[in-house]
Structure 1
Amino acid sequence: SAVIGVATIMLRYPMVFSAFKLAGGAYLAWLGIQMWRSRGRLALGVAGEGAEAPRASRRALAAQGFVTAIANPKGWAFFIALLPPFLDASLPLAPQLIALVGIILTLEFTCLLLYAGGGSSLARWLG
């Protein structure tokens, strides 16, 4: 029901949706500036100046990827706007939402695997 409520607010009050878009863009710009100014200190396993950085474990890298994906406001806004047309009000809502969220999580996981595999291949190729 939360998905439908948020989608309804976005459709009935486009100014609120625009405000969310602007706030999300400002947040992403702020994150980008913080990452740029940090010179890599926010990344996992990065040591100080001149020191050798320890290798992060696979679990730590997976956790960082998961947190990054979940914290991305663009993805949530996209899927909240995408879901309502696929819901049928005459059928029970819970099974529909479970199926749709399962599809979304599968797609997100697949994309992250493609990014990771592509990055790994690119690192080997550039090395």
Structure 2
Amino acid sequence: MSLHTWWLFFSAVFLLCGTPGPNMLHVLTRSVRLGVRRTIATMAGCLSAILLVLAASAAGLSAVLVAAPTLFEVIRYAGVAYLLYLGVKAWRGADGPIAAEPGALPAGPRLTAPRLVRDGFLIGLSNPKLLLFATAFFPQFIDGGAPQAPQFAILVTTFAGAELFWYGVYALSGQRLAAFLTRPGLKRLFDRITGGLFLGFGAALLGFRP
């Protein structure tokens, strides 16, 4: 892989990762409710899903989905259902906050680290942007005439680094935003906006085709 190819890939994924999507919205909302420190578990879950899907892409995910379209439909509809569930839950303000750091919202039902990882992982798997990236975009940067394993390792590492950078940006933004959401009216507005966005992501995944 040439330096020019890597630079094109990095530029594309840096912008792609920074674009608001289910992962970034989830990190933002968790940071608003829990603070940055506890949101690290959410980031780990989201990143784990990304690494799994990209590893599957390296192993021939696109070919599998073409050969078994029913499998893709099952994954897609499961993702749609989960995003819609999160949208309704966020809209109703049912995802209770926890006072974990200064600026986080007041205490609510306890969320354990394993649950935060699990929720982040499921969000990552249901991300239509990731499915499109893994099946259509990612393979285009692989040189078929060179050893593929090192190329995949470089590209996956680059993608993970860009994703982690934006996780940090959104998490810090969420912590700052929490200070403005102490009023019930503003908190309710935040719930409505985030819920509506999750519902929109679910609708986008419903119409997605690889």
Fold match by TM threshold 0.5:
yes
Counterpart of 1:28 (choices 64, 83, 87) is: 83
Over 3 Å counting, the alpha-carbon distance change for 1:122 and 1:2 in structure 2 is closer
TM-score norm. by structure 2 comes to 0.42
Amino acid aligned to 1:80: A
Which structure 2 residue ranges, 5 or more long, are not aligned? 1-54, 101-105, 183-210
1:97 aligns with 152
Conserved 8 A contact 2:89-2:95:
no
Measured after TM superposition, the shift of residue 78 of structure 1 is 3.4
Matched, 1:114 2:169: yes
Counterpart of 1:53 (choices 92, 107, 118) is: 107
1:49 aligns with none
Measured after TM superposition, the shift of residue 31 of structure 1 is 4.1
Q: CA RMSD in A?
A: 3.6
Of 26-35 and 10-19, the range deviating more from structure 2: 10-19
TM-score norm. by structure 1 comes to 0.62
1:3 aligns with 57
Query: What secondary structure does 2:146 align onto?
Result: coil
1:79 aligns with 133
Inter-partner Cα distance in structure 2 for 1:38 and 1:23: 23
Greater RCO (Cα-Cα under 8 Å, separation 6 or more): 2
Inter-partner Cα distance in structure 2 for 1:67 and 1:44: 17
Aligned residue pairs total 114
Inter-partner Cα distance in structure 2 for 1:38 and 1:124: 17
Which structure 1 residue ranges, 5 or more long, are not aligned? 47-51
Q: Which has the larger radius of gyration?
A: 1
Identity between Structure 1 and Structure 2 (%): 28
Measured after TM superposition, the shift of residue 111 of structure 1 is 1.2
Measured after TM superposition, the shift of residue 69 of structure 1 is 4.1
Inter-partner Cα distance in structure 2 for 1:19 and 1:68: 19
